Amino acid sequence: MSRIGKKPVELPSGVTASVSGQTVEVKGPKGTRSFKATDDVTISVDGNVVTVEPRGKSKRARQQWGMSRTMVANLATGVSEGFKKELELSGVGYRAQMQGNTLKLSLGYSHDVNFEVPEGVTVTAPKQTEITVEGIDEQQVGQVAANIRAWRKPEPYKGKGIKYKGEYVFRKEGKKK
């Protein structure tokens, strides 16, 4: 039995949900998002509560039950509060700045890295060593943050690179004489 799937999704105030077939559409102050569930689950809306139930007792139905409930909960969170990932740059000369829709990164390469920000995501650089990625789609926010981080992952000797805020970088001891 899915412990996650059993819990109904409570919609925050200002958020509405509607179901047509297997598609759930959630509207809120930040926008509209939708999710198409598989035929293994039944989704119903009762007032400001969305419930997900499995159709049958198959393994796939039980897998889709918890996943579908989490997807609906993420839709509700995204359109009401949004999602946010914060990145930190550490290293001598490592800088980030926004120029229009492009994030310009100085990461110790012979050239600056220009990262085009995709639609649906907002990227800001409040300080030269901080980057904030925000949006209503959790998957897209996480993917953009991962793509930015991939340019210079934190290395274990000096800790230089782009890391998530609060991420622990395992440090290694250098060479000994």
Q: For residue 174, what pLDDT is reported?
A: 86
Q: For residue 31, what pLDDT is reported?
A: 92
Mean pLDDT over each residue of the chain, to the nearest integer: 93
Architecture of the domain delimited by 3-80: Alpha-Beta Complex (3.90)
**What is the distance between the alpha carbons of residues 148 and 55, in angstroms, rounded to a whole number?**
40
pTM greater than the 0.95 cutoff: no
Domain with CATH 3.90.930.12 in the chain: 3-80, 83-164
Question: How large is the average pLDDT for residues 64-73?
Answer: 93
**What is the distance between the alpha carbons of residues 30 and 87, in angstroms, rounded to a whole number?**
23
Q: For residue 3, what pLDDT is reported?
A: 86
Does 61 have pLDDT greater than 80? yes
The contacts of residue 3 (CB under 8 Å, 6+ apart) are 66
pLDDT in tens, 1-19: 668 889 999 999 999 999 9
Q: Would you place residue 145 in the very low, low, confident or very high pLDDT band (cuts 50, 70, 90)?
A: very high
Q: Would you place residue 58 in the very low, low, confident or very high pLDDT band (cuts 50, 70, 90)?
A: very high
Q: For residue 1, what pLDDT is reported?
A: 61
- C-alpha distances (whole Å) from 150 to each of 9, 69, 80, 129 are 34, 31, 29, 16
Q: Report whether CATH 3.90.930.12 matches the domain 83-164.
A: yes
The contacts of residue 97 (CB under 8 Å, 6+ apart) are 103, 104, 125, 128
